[in-house]
Structures are given as C-alpha cells and as structure tokens.
C-alpha cells in the first residue's frame, strides 16, 4: 500500500517543515524581533546577547551606516548625522515638525514626498530610509537565528497611526526587503500576548507608553476573539518628552543658555534619561552637568512629568467614553512600553483605573511577542482559528456632499478590515462627471475635517438631476489602508483611488479633531440641518425655475403662473439665509403651490410617451 502525503489546513505540505515568520516591534526608542519556536514566543538576541536594538542610525563620512548601540554612542559627538526617534517623523510633513523647534538636534529639509528629510553627510535621508536600516538589522538577526530567509513578518505600529504613517512603515519594510504579512496595532499585539498566555476574558485597557508615542486601547477578550472597542492616544508623546522635561529642569538649575548646540542638547538629554531611569529604583540621584552639581529627587521628577502623564490619562477617559464604559468595567490594565517602568506612571494609572496594572510580561518585549504569535498564524504554522483580531480605525472616513458637508461612510472605531458603500446621485440635469472628495474627521463641515484625496468619475450618461446612481465604496484593509471607488450603476463606468496622503496628522490635529467633535456636537448638528435645508431649497428652486421656463405657459393660466413665480421669488430670497425654519416654511409652501403643476407635467409626459401607440401595444409592453 502506498501512502499519500497530506497536510492539515494552514500547515506546510512538507512534514515537520515550519515557515520562518517573525514579529517586529519597530519602536521609537528601541526595536526588537521575536519568533515562535517549539510553540513558545521568544525575542531574539544579538551577538552581544541583547534583546533591544536602539532605534538609532548613524551615517558616516565614508558612506558607512551604523545601527543600534554603536550608533547611539556617536550621538553626542556627531548629532547631526545620528538619527534618533525617526519613528516620530514617519508620514509627517515639514510643517508638522516645526512645533518641536529647538528640541530637534537635526537639520531638516523638505522633499518632494512631503515628508521631511534629515540633512546628513550621506545626503538627504528620509525617515522611511532610516527605518529601513533598522529593519535590515532586525531581519538579519532573525535570519541568523532561524538559519534561513524569512517567509514574512508582522510589524507593529501605534494604533493612532493614520494611513500615511502606516503606508510609510510599509514602504520602509519594502525598502528593507521584508515581506509584510500584516501591520498590527501595538496595543492589540500586547493583548495577543497576554490573552493567549493567560486566557484572559472581559474588557481590558492596554496602556502603551513608549519612547515617542502613546496609545490607549479598550478591548474585549472573549474565547480567543480580540475586539477593539475604542482607541485613543497621542502620536507625539512618550518617554522622550519625560527626558526633555528633566533636561529643561537641569538646564535651568545649571544656568545653561537656551541656545545650546546640538551636541550639548544630546549630552543633556542622555544625562536626563539616566537620571529618570535611576529614580525608578532610588529616591534621589546626583547630577553633574557642565560644571554644575545638584540632586534630583523622585518627588521633583514626579512634578516635572505629571502634566505629561495627565495628558495620557485624559486620552484614557475619552477612550472609555467612546466604548460606553467606566473604569470599573475594566478587568485588567496591561502596561506596554519602556516608559511604563516609571513608578509615577504606574501609580497614576492604578489610581485612574482603580486596580493594579499587569506588568508580569516585560513591557519592552510584550508587543514583539504578540506580533510573533500573530505572524505564526498568518504564515501558516498555526491554525487561524486559534486567534481572531478585530482592530478599528481611529477617525471617521467619508465624502464631501452638497453644501460642504461631511458624509461619514465608515465611522471611527469601526472594526477593520471593512468595506462599506453608499449610493449618491447627480445634482444638476445633464451632469456627466462627479468630483469625489475623500475626507477624514469627526465634524459635520468639510472645512473642519482633513482632506485625504480627490478623484473624478467621468462619463456619466446625461440624465435629469437625481436619476443617476453612483455607488461609492470604501475599503479599509487589515493594515488600515484605504481604497475608494466610484461606479455609475447603469453604464458600469468606474474610477478608484488608493489613498496615500503625503504625510500624516500631527498630535495637535488628532487631539483637536476628537476634542472639537465633542465640544461642537450640538452646533455641528444645527449647522448640518441648515446646510441640508439650503441644498434642498437650491434644488427645488432650480428644478421649478427650469420647469416653468419649459412648460409654465403651456400648462398654467396667467394667475397660476404668477402665483408660482411669486412663490419661487420668495424662496430665492430666503434659500441662503441662516434661518432654517424660514427656509423649511418656504420649501413646504412652494411644494404645495406647485403640486398641480407637477401633476399636469406628469400627465403631459405620459401622453407624449403613449402618442402613436394602441392600447393593445401598451398592454403587451406591460
């Protein structure tokens, strides 16, 4: 008897052969790579037995590129060519980073892509290219540990990364030669690690405070399903800001001048970071900087960083409100990111949620571990039935409609991947093209939202206003990337666009858009109602004016024609006013006055259609 080799679903057809997959935490301060071996996730070590790779890239005079600790060691002596925290610049515009001002020890120059480039001895270096160098080192470490080329990687990103920032991350992976299985939100990756290892159930909060970004995600865990209920955070807030607050205090105490050169700034930040980390284990630390000696106590550190921690807690409150939950509804709080080692952070999070947070998995490694578990599933080593991830989009996506209104197609906190469609129509008779304006935001007017892309649908068959049916479809994939298409259903003509904005939202924009959506909710509803009434009045005015011009004298006597003319004139006078009740009253009055005229036009249209046809022919057609 001959045996036929088969394989289980999701498994390799070759016995005992596992595909090589890794999870990569591409962090602001540190990065690392993990994989699953013998069913256990583990982070991979470098030749010096270190898990963490500092996210630092140095460019030398001879064209050499150094990544990691060796690069970090050169940051004080050669700050302009040593790139630190490049993740903060991913998918951003040159205008977005000007708010950081003197805090940046770099020379930044604009580029054609819209993202800022770093001016180095090696030329203009983009954040994407620098991130690719970090990824190359991590991939090399993984290939050495796994003894072969990788079949794919799951790369984590902050939950608050928008389309531009996610696309920039994917571009960096492509540049590094990495096959991306999926971009995974960092808080969700942490939930994977804790949920699978501990079998957690119920609602959890993932508090992720890294070197340069903060994320809060509220998730529901149930029978292996991870559903993100809401997200929030700040894409430019993290441990680096703690360091800057301490450095500012040291500079003031030491009487240092404000206009420190880049090398002095970097040295000051290094000392500030060392002091902050020391105060996680002791009550005070002695400092010696530029001839000044002093003491920084933990109480003083707490006072310096409290305003920054409070910003994260406000984001936590908003995320809970979005999920319609209270702090007491949260079963567990998971701490992620090296900055959560700061004792003040843990104390304030404990008080805010009314429970001790989980810290039994290394907060620096938990994200990479969760990504590795997901990669193991996606590459086919483990059945996908073991895990289901349901991420959400952070801000609503929609289109501009008449009156400058934002029509939301996919609302914020909708689970992804998702595809939604909505039908629209033409506004004017004979309209053969339509401009599609894609937007992101929570407000009702497009002027208060962010423009993502524009494209046109041409070739619409000329019809009367309102007759054409244009279906606009939005698709957000598992990585949070958006595609929009528009199709005229009668003719089948179609146009589409892959939304790749040149740069992402800055932290002020994100905070403003969410905050204003709450504070202006009532006003926005009133403005939207007014604009909709104005659009209805415009449409009624144009339709009736055209009808009177064409058939008014043929179907109406002089008195009837005059009455409609007066009603139409009155509508014209109020249709652009700010009194929506007055507009609505005139719309209703014109509608009633024109009912008989509309009925006569319809009858005349039917008679013209039946002219020359016998009753038998009509019944046969029916």
pLDDT exceeds 50 at position 15 = no
Q: Are residues 191 and 207 in the same domain?
A: yes
Determine, yes or no, domain membership for 168: yes
Instruction: Provide the pLDDT confidence category of residue 196 given band limits of 50, 70 and 90.
Output: very low
SS3 assignment for 222-251: ECCEEEEEEEEEECCCCHHHHHHHHHHHHH
Determine, yes or no, domain membership for 252: no
pLDDT of res. 504:
44
pLDDT of res. 432:
85
Domain that holds residue 486: 393-519
pLDDT exceeds 70 at position 620 = no
Q: Mean per-residue pLDDT for 503-511?
A: 45
Average pLDDT over the chain, rounded to whole? Answer: 80
Q: Mean per-residue pLDDT for 567-585?
A: 75
Q: Are residues 404 and 383 in the same domain?
A: no
Determine, yes or no, domain membership for 274: no
pLDDT of res. 325:
94
pTM listed for this prediction: 0.59
Q: Are residues 499 and 530 in the same domain?
A: no
The tally of domains found in the chain comes to 3
Task: Assign residue 144 the CATH number of its domain.
Answer: 3.30.420.40
Instruction: Provide the pLDDT confidence category of residue 132 given band limits of 50, 70 and 90.
Output: very high
Instruction: Provide the pLDDT confidence category of residue 505 given band limits of 50, 70 and 90.
Output: very low
> Which residues are the active-site residues?
25, 87, 186, 208
Give dist(CA 371, CA 606) in Å, integer: 66
Last residue of a domain, one of 347, 368, 390: 390
pLDDT exceeds 60 at position 187 = yes
Determine, yes or no, domain membership for 29: yes
Q: Mean per-residue pLDDT for 1-29?
A: 63
Q: Are residues 81 and 194 in the same domain?
A: yes
Instruction: Provide the pLDDT confidence category of residue 197 given band limits of 50, 70 and 90.
Output: very low
More confident call, 536 vs 512 = 536
- Least confident residue range of 362-376, 377-391, 447-461, 558-572: 377-391
Q: Are residues 51 and 114 in the same domain?
A: yes
pLDDT of res. 340:
92
Determine, yes or no, domain membership for 180: yes
Q: Are residues 337 and 199 in the same domain?
A: yes
565: CB partners within 8 A, 6+ apart: 548
pLDDT tens per residue across span 365-380: 999 999 999 898 888 7
Last residue of a domain, one of 353, 372, 390: 390
Q: Are residues 468 and 560 in the same domain?
A: no
More confident call, 476 vs 2 = 476
Determine, yes or no, domain membership for 292: no
Q: Mean per-residue pLDDT for 85-99?
A: 73
Task: Assign residue 436 the CATH number of its domain.
Answer: 2.60.34.10
Q: Rounded to the nearest 5 degrees, what angle is found at the Cα of 187, between the Cα atoms of 513 and 314?
A: 40
CB-CB neighbours of 588 under 10 Å: 10
Q: Mean per-residue pLDDT for 567-595?
A: 76
> What CA–CA distances, in Å, run from 141 to 47, 154, 256, 580, 610?
9, 15, 42, 65, 80
Peptide bond into 417 cis (omega under 30): yes
pLDDT exceeds 50 at position 499 = yes
Determine, yes or no, domain membership for 246: no
Instruction: Provide the pLDDT confidence category of residue 9 given band limits of 50, 70 and 90.
Output: very low
- Contact, 472 vs 436, CB < 8 A? yes
pLDDT tens per residue across span 286-332: 888 878 888 999 999 999 999 999 999 999 999 999 899 999 999 98
Determine, yes or no, domain membership for 137: yes
Q: Mean per-residue pLDDT for 468-472?
A: 86
Q: What is the dihedral of CA 111, 114, 118, 124, to 10 degrees?
A: -30
443: CB partners within 8 A, 6+ apart: 406, 449, 513, 516, 517, 520, 524
pLDDT of res. 242:
92
Q: Are residues 345 and 334 in the same domain?
A: yes
Q: Are residues 493 and 529 in the same domain?
A: no
Q: Are residues 359 and 504 in the same domain?
A: no
pLDDT exceeds 80 at position 614 = no
Last residue of a domain, one of 390, 407, 424: 390
Q: Mean per-residue pLDDT for 231-259?
A: 84
Query: For the chain, what percent of residues have pLDDT higher than 90?
Result: 21
More confident call, 167 vs 162 = 167
Q: Are residues 385 and 483 in the same domain?
A: no
- Least confident residue range of 29-33, 196-200, 232-236, 496-500: 196-200
Q: Are residues 452 and 580 in the same domain?
A: no
Q: Mean per-residue pLDDT for 457-469?
A: 82
Instruction: Provide the pLDDT confidence category of residue 101 given band limits of 50, 70 and 90.
Output: very low
Q: Mean per-residue pLDDT for 97-102?
A: 51
């Amino acid at each position: 008897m001959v045996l036929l080799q088969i394989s289980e679903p999701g498994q390799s057809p070759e016995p005992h052969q596992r595909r090589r997959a890794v999870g990569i935490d591409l962090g602001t301060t540190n990065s690392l790579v993990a994989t699953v071996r013998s069913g256990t996730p583990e982070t991979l070590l470098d030749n010096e037995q270190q898990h963490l790779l500092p996210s630092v890239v140095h460019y030398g005079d001879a064209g050499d590129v150094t990544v990691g600790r060796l690069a970090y060691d050169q940051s004080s002596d050669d700050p302009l060519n040593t790139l630190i925290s490049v993740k903060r610049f991913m998918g951003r515009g040159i205008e977005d980073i000007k708010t950081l001002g003197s805090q940046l020890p770099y020379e930044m120059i604009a580029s054609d892509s819209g993202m800022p480039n770093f001016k180095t001895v090696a030329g203009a270096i983009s954040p994407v290219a620098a991130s690719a160098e970090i990824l190359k080192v991590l991939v090399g470490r993984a290939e050495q540990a796994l003894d072969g080329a990788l079949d794919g990687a799951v790369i984590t990103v902050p939950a608050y990364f928008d389309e531009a920032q996610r696309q920039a991350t994917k571009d960096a992976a492509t540049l590094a030669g990495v096959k991306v299985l999926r971009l995974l939100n960092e808080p969700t990756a942490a939930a994977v690690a804790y949920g699978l290892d501990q079998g957690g159930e119920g609602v959890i909060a993932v508090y992720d405070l890294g070197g340069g970004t903060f994320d809060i995600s509220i998730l529901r865990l149930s029978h292996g399903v991870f559903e993100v209920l809401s997200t929030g955070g700040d894409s430019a807030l993290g441990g680096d800001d703690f360091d800057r607050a301490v450095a500012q205090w040291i500079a003031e105490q030491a009487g240092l001048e404000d206009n420190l050169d880049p090398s002095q700034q970097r040295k000051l930040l290094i000392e500030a970071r060392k002091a902050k980390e020391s105060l996680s284990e002791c009550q005070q630390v002695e400092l010696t900087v530029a001839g000044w000696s002093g003491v920084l106590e933990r109480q003083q550190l707490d006072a310096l960083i409290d305003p920054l921690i409070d910003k994260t807690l406000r984001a936590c409150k908003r995320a809970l409100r979005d999920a319609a939950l209270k702090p007491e509804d949260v079963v567990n709080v998971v701490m992620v990111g090296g900055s959560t080692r700061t004792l003040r952070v843990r104390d304030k999070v404990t008080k805010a949620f009314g429970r001790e947070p989980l810290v039994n998995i290394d907060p620096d490694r938990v994200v990479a571990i969760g990504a590795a578990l997901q990669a193991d599933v996606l590459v086919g080593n483990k059945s996908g039935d073991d895990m289901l991830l349901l991420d959400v989009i952070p801000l609503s996506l929609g289109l501009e409609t008449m009156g400058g209104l934002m029509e939301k197609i996919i609302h914020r906190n909708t689970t992804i991947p998702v595809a939604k469609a909505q039908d629209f129509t033409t506004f004017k008779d004979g309209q053969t093209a339509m401009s599609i304006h894609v937007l992101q935001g929570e407000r009702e007017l497009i002027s208060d939202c962010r423009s993502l892309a524009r494209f046109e649908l041409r070739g619409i068959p000329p019809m009367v206003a309102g007759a054409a049916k244009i279906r606009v479809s939005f698709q957000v994939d598992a990585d949070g990337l958006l595609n929009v298409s528009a199709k005229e259903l009668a003719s089948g003509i179609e146009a589409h666009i892959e939304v790749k904005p040149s740069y992402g939202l800055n932290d002020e924009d994100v905070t403003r858009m969410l905050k204003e959506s709450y504070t202006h909710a009532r006003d926005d509803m009133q403005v939207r109602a007014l604009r909709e009434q104005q659009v209805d009045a415009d449409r009624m005015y144009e339709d009736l004016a055209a009808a009177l011009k064409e058939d008014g004298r043929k179907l109406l006597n002089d008195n009837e024609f005059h009455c409609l003319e007066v009603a139409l004139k009155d509508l014209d006078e109020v249709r652009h006013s700010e009194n929506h009740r007055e507009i609505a009253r005139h719309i209703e009055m014109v509608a009633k006055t024109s009912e008989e005229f509309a009925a006569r036009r319809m009858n005349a249209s039917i008679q013209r259609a039946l002219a020359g046809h016998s009753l038998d022919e009509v019944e046969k057609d029916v």
